[in-house]
């Protein structure tokens, strides 16, 4: 039963990425400046991407034990014990999606594209770390 829940969490995380793609399109891309026009939608898309990553990370690492919200440090410590590549994606993703897109609202297309790439990389890594469900 728990494996199905984790698989559902990965699917949910991917749904967040799809939602972020729809959101960023509302910002209207300006090819002349290679940027999105509306900071508001970039921020919402960045936050949505990051939340999707947290869903995937929580499905694998169970960081949300105890009271309160876990800090990025807790995620970093937990991930570092298991997968160095994922830790790199986590650090880059946190900075890009959560800070640069989500807080700063950086509208640069390359920045936003990187956010989507890191989100997919984090979710893919989490999916690969989950135990495989045997067919019945």
C-alpha distances (whole Å) from 118 to each of 8, 67, 133 are 20, 28, 26
pLDDT of residue 5: 61
Residue count (the chain): 136
pLDDT in tens, 94-133: 999 999 999 999 999 999 999 999 999 999 999 999 875 4
What does the angle CA 50 – CA 126 – CA 109 come to, to the nearest 5 degrees?
A: 40
pLDDT of residue 63: 86
pLDDT of residue 4: 57
pLDDT in tens, 31-68: 999 999 999 999 999 999 999 999 999 999 988 876 77
Nearest CA to 31 among 108, 111, 104, 102? 108
Number of H helices, E strands in the chain: 5, 2
């Amino acid at each position: 039963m728990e494996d199905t829940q984790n698989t559902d969490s990965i699917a949910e995380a991917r749904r967040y990425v799809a939602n972020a793609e729809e959101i960023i399109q509302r910002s209207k891309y300006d090819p002349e400046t290679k940027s999105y026009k509306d900071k508001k939608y970039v921020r919402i898309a960045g936050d949505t991407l990051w939340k999707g990553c947290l869903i995937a990370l929580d499905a694998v690492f169970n960081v949300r034990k105890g009271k309160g919200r876990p800090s990025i440090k807790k995620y970093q410590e937990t991930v570092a014990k298991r997968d160095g590549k994922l830790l790199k994606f986590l650090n880059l993703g946190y900075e890009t999606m959560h800070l640069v897109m989500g807080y700063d609202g950086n509208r640069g297309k390359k920045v936003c594209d990187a956010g989507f790439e890191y989100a997919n990389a984090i979710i893919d890594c989490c999916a690969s770390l989950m135990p495989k469900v045997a067919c019945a």
